[in-house]
C-alpha cells in the first residue's frame, strides 16, 4: 500500500495541565499505534493536537482521536484540534467528524 513508508512525528509539551501534541506526517494504520502509545494523559486537563503538518488522516487516526476525546471527557477534560488544513477538514466532513471534535484554525 502507498502509506507503508509514511511516518508520524509527535512533539509534546505540557504546560499547566495542557498537553499540546504537534503532529507531523500521516495518521494511518502503521503510524497511529505510535500516537496511542506515546500520549500520556496523566495530569492533563486539556489535550490539543496541532494538525498543521498532518498530511493525511486515515480511519485509524480518526479512531484514535475519538478514543482520546472519550478519555478526556471521562476525566472532565477537553480535547481539540488546531491548525487543521482545509484538506484534512474535508476528510472530517466526509465522515461527519467535524461535529464530534472542535476544529479551530
Give per-residue pLDDT as tens, 21-72: 999 999 999 999 999 999 999 999 999 999 999 999 999 999 999 999 999 9
Q: How far apart are CA 16 and CA 66, in angstroms?
A: 23
Contact 32, 3 (CB under 8 A): no
pLDDT at 101: 63
8-104 CATH choice from 3.30.750.24, 3.40.50.10330, 3.10.180.10, 3.30.750.200:
3.30.750.24
Contact 77, 45 (CB under 8 A): yes
pLDDT at 94: 86
What percent of the chain lies above the pLDDT cut of 70?
Answer: 90
Amino acid at each position: 500500500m502507498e502509506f507503508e513508508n509514511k511516518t508520524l512525528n509527535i512533539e509534546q509539551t505540557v504546560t499547566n495541565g495542557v498537553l499540546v501534541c504537534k503532529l507531523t506526517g500521516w495518521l494511518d494504520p502503521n503510524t497511529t499505534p505510535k500516537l496511542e502509545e506515546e500520549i500520556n494523559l496523566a495530569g492533563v486537563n486539556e489535550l490539543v493536537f496541532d494538525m498543521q503538518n498532518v498530511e493525511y488522516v486515515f480511519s485509524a487516526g480518526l479512531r484514535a482521536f475519538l478514543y482520546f476525546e472519550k478519555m478526556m471527557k471521562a476525566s472532565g477534560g477537553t480535547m481539540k484540534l488546531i491548525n487543521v488544513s482545509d484538506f484534512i477538514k474535508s476528510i472530517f466532513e466526509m465522515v461527519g467528524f467535524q461535529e464530534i471534535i472542535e476544529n479551530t484554525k
